[in-house]
């Protein structure tokens, strides 16, 4: 497994990257640091735009087996995660009432997370499970503890990392449950969630870039290393993180 200290940003092909919807985006180098541009579906249907997306340390291929060992615990944990994601968006919105662009984006994001929460709870009911108590999230806790007091940009970066990791893990779960007799119906749902969480990561990075109090590239590199450390320190369990 790649260590935090050896992490390097992935460099795309010269001339640009193409997203799965066929749009091709060029690469740019803000302040000496390469980023891969990506996109998400609603932009491909109408107005096209470019968004940042971080390259995280890839999860081990056997992770999904551990996570699905107890689907009731996994879905319960994810319901609590969606609830906290909505609360995070509302908390950030409350902290920056003067920034209308940020407030509008976060209000939409909180609405989507609440919708996810409702639907995860429906899936729990569909499977005949109960919502288990919140077991806490040491991964998110480790990232949030790295936010400096009064620094909105840190909070936005931390949120972006959590959303990006959720996107990656939900994508793995989507493939893992596909065709499963009991859990197969969750595959399309997980796919919808992973696309949405990808959009949330991009939104948080966009907001972090506009709120950044120092070099965006340096701060992003720092947060990517913290994310690698945080995700590497968590024991495998039936949870998305
Ligand atoms: Fe969500
Ligand atoms: Fe999200």
The pLDDT tens digits for 209-224 are 999 999 999 999 999 9
Does residue 18 surpass a pLDDT of 90?
no
* Across 23-48, average pLDDT: 34
Q: Which ligand has the shortest distance to the CA of 161? A: 2
**Higher per-residue pLDDT: 4 or 181:** 181
Query: How far does the centroid of ligand 1 lie from the alpha carbon of residue 32, in Å?
Result: 32
Query: How far does the centroid of ligand 1 lie from the alpha carbon of residue 200, in Å?
Result: 8
Q: Please give the pLDDT value at position 43.
A: 36
Query: How far does the centroid of ligand 2 lie from the alpha carbon of residue 45, in Å?
Result: 21
CA-CA-CA-CA dihedral for 226, 232, 238, 241, to nearest 10 = 20
Q: Please give the pLDDT value at position 202.
A: 92
Query: How far does the centroid of ligand 1 lie from the alpha carbon of residue 211, in Å?
Result: 23
- Three-class SS of residue 38? strand
Query: How far does the centroid of ligand 2 lie from the alpha carbon of residue 14, in Å?
Result: 31
Please check whether residue 109 is in contact with residue 203, taking contact to mean a CB–CB distance below 8 angstroms: yes
**Nearest Cα to Cα of residue 148 among 158, 161, 138, 160:** 158
Q: Please give the pLDDT value at position 15.
A: 32
Which residues are found with C-beta within 5 Å of the ion, ligand 2?
A: 85, 163, 197, 200
Query: How far does the centroid of ligand 2 lie from the alpha carbon of residue 223, in Å?
Result: 18
* Across 5-14, average pLDDT: 31
Out of 23-27, 112-116, 149-153, which region has the weakest mean confidence (pLDDT)?
Answer: 23-27
Does residue 148 surpass a pLDDT of 50?
yes
Percent of the chain with pLDDT over 70: 78
Confidence of residue 141 (pLDDT cuts 50, 70, 90): very high
Query: How far does the centroid of ligand 1 lie from the alpha carbon of residue 107, in Å?
Result: 13
Q: Which ligand has the shortest distance to the CA of 192? A: 1
Q: Delineate the domains of the chain, giving CATH numbers in brackets.
A: 61-232 (1.20.1260.10)
What does the mean pLDDT of the chain come to? 82
Q: Please give the pLDDT value at position 8.
A: 31
Tokens representing 113 are 């997370």
Confidence of residue 51 (pLDDT cuts 50, 70, 90): low
The pLDDT tens digits for 100-135 are 989 999 999 999 999 999 999 999 999 999 999 999
Model confidence, pTM? 0.81
43 CB contacts (<8 Å, ≥6 apart)? 49, 51
Query: How far does the centroid of ligand 2 lie from the alpha carbon of residue 15, in Å?
Result: 30
Alpha helices, DSSP H, located in the chain: 41-45, 63-67, 71-95, 100-126, 138-144, 152-177, 186-211, 216-232
Q: Please give the pLDDT value at position 61.
A: 86
Query: How far does the centroid of ligand 1 lie from the alpha carbon of residue 81, in Å?
Result: 8
């Amino acid at each position: 497994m790649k260590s935090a200290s050896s992490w390097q940003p992935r460099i795309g092909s010269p001339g640009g990257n193409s997203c799965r919807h066929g749009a091709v985006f060029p690469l740019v180098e803000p302040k000496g640091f390469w980023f891969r541009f990506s996109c998400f579906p609603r932009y491909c249907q109408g107005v096209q735009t470019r968004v940042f997306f971080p390259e995280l340390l890839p999860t081990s291929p056997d992770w999904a087996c551990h996570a699905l060992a107890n689907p009731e615990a996994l879905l319960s944990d994810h319901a609590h995660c969606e609830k906290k994601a909505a609360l995070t968006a509302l908390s950030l919105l409350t902290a920056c009432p003067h920034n209308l662009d940020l407030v509008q984006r976060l209000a939409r994001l909180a609405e989507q997370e609440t919708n996810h929460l409702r639907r995860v709870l429906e899936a729990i009911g569909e499977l005949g499970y109960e919502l288990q108590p919140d077991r806490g999230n040491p991964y998110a806790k480790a990232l949030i503890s790295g936010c400096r007091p009064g620094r909105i940009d840190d909070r936005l970066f931390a949120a972006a990392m959590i959303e990006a990791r959720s996107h990656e893990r939900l994508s793995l779960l989507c493939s893992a449950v596909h065709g499963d007799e009991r859990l197969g119906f969750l595959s399309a749902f997980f796919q919808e969630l992973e696309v949405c969480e990808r959009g949330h990561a991009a939104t948080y990075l966009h907001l972090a870039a506009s709120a950044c109090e120092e070099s965006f590239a340096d701060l992003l590199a720092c947060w990517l290393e913290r994310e690698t450390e945080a995700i590497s320190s968590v024991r495998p369990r039936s949870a998305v993180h």
